[in-house]
Amino acid sequence: MNIARYLDSTYLKTPEQSGISHEETLQKDKELAQEAIDNGIFAVMIRPDYVSEIKKYIQERNSNVAVGTVIGFHEGTYSVDDKLAEASKAIEDGADELDFVINYEAYLQGKTELVKDEFVRCSQLGLKHNKIVKWIIEIAALTDVQIADLTKNISNWAEENFQENDLSRIFVKSSTGFYQTHDGKPNGATFEGIRIMLDNAGKLPVKAAGGVRTPEDAEKMINLGVKRIGTSSALALLKNQSSSEGY
Ligand SMILES: O=C[C@H](O)COP(=O)(O)O
């Protein structure tokens, strides 16, 4: 299986979070981009501040590795206008894919109309510019029933508001990888959580992200039906694939 084609190789820590400078972060993102170019990885997923430099880096190397970035990361509580502004800037800077964190706190407070409004307006912006949009629902913050309900809502809102041929460009994504759990539970993609998402996503593709570390886990996710995997361990994951699989 060509796992690389499913991967969004991510580096999403801010300089403050990693204790390194802006320049060092940019250097890390360039290394990530080069690894993606060298290994047939589908996309790099980086912070908005680095999109224009990394897009240029990839274009100068005549590569078609996609550049994705995160919007409203990682809590998802930004206002809709702030998410739209951040997404517009990322589009101007050359992002190909926009991974929005949905306002799952608002969803948990029953503010479903607010969540629908941000979903529709932000997706509209991305689709108008021919981008892929992904909606991170942060499954570690939700019960199984809530994962099913929010995924189904997103699928219904997408069907109601967008053309059939746009639906394959709107993903539902499991996790930021940054959510703090309090009880030692996984904070990212679990097989059960992903199954629930796949059962409720209708025509929308699903992305598993957070905690995917081994080729076995990646293959299992793909066999379940996910169309993309986000991981900060892309190279290690590919290196551990058996050589008979063509890496
Ligand atoms: O999609 C993005 C996630 O941040 C990746 O999480 P991870 O660091 O657990 O692989």
| pLDDT tens column, 136-147 | 999 999 999 999
Is it the case that residue 246 has pLDDT exceeding 50?
no
Give dist(CA 25, CA 192) in Å, integer: 34
pTM here is 0.96
Please report whether residue 243 resides in a domain: no
Decide whether any atom of ligand 1 lies within 6 Å of the 232 Cβ. yes
Confidence of residue 244 (pLDDT cuts 50, 70, 90): very low
Give me the DSSP letters along 18-64.
Answer: HT--HHHHHHHHHHHHHHHHHHT-SEEEE-GGGHHHHHHHHHHTT--
| ipTM of the complex in this document | 0.96
Confirm or reject: Cβ of 69 under 6 Å from ligand 1: no
**Which residue, judged by its Cα, is nearest atom 4 of ligand 1?**
177
Ligand 1 binding pocket includes 44 (Cβ within 6 Å): no
38: domain range? 3-238
**How far, in Å, are 119, 134, 138, 203, 231 from residue 172 at the CA level?**
11, 6, 10, 10, 16
Amino acid (one-letter) located at 243: S
**Residue 30 within any structural domain of the chain:** yes
Distance 168 CA to ligand 1 centre (A): 22
Mean pLDDT of 107-119: 98
The closest-lying atom of ligand 1 relative to the alpha carbon of residue 187 is 9
**pLDDT tens by residue, 192-232:** 999 999 999 999 999 999 999 999 999 999 999 999 999 99
Verify whether ligand 1 is closer than 6 Å to residue 9 (CB atom): no
Facing residues of 45 across strands? Answer: 10, 68
55 belongs to a structural domain: yes
- Check pLDDT > 60 for residue 107: yes
* 244 assigned to some structural domain: no
pLDDT tens sequence across 26-77:
999 999 999 999 999 999 999 999 999 999 999 999 999 999 999 999 999 9
Instruction: Say which amino acid occupies 89.
Output: K
Would you say residue 209 lies in a domain? yes
Atom of ligand 1 nearest to the CA of 99: 1
pLDDT at 182: 81
- Overall number of domains in the chain: 1
Query: Residue 145's domain is classified under what CATH number?
Result: 3.20.20.70
Q: Whose CA is nearest to atom 6 of ligand 1?
A: 210
- Which element (helix H / strand E) includes 172? strand 170-173
164 located within any domain: yes
- Please, which pLDDT band fits residue 247 given cuts at 50, 70 and 90? very low
Q: Tell me the C-alpha distance between 27 and 197, whole Å.
A: 35
Q: Which of 12, 47, 194 to mutate to test the pocket of ligand 1 (most atoms within 8 A of CB)?
A: 12
Whether 145 is in a domain gets the answer yes
pLDDT band at 242 (very low <50, low <70, confident <90, very high): low
Evaluate whether 71 touches 87 at the Cβ level (below 8 Å): yes
| Residue 205 Cα to ligand 1 middle (Å) | 18
Whether 68 is in the pocket of ligand 1, judged by its Cβ within 6 Å, is no
Contacts of 143 (CB under 8 A, 6+ apart): none
pLDDT at 167: 98
- Mean pLDDT, residues 16-20: 95
Domain presence at residue 245: no
Asked whether the CA dihedral 38, 41, 47, 48 is positive or negative, the reply is positive
Binned at pLDDT 50, 70 and 90, residue 164 comes out as: very high
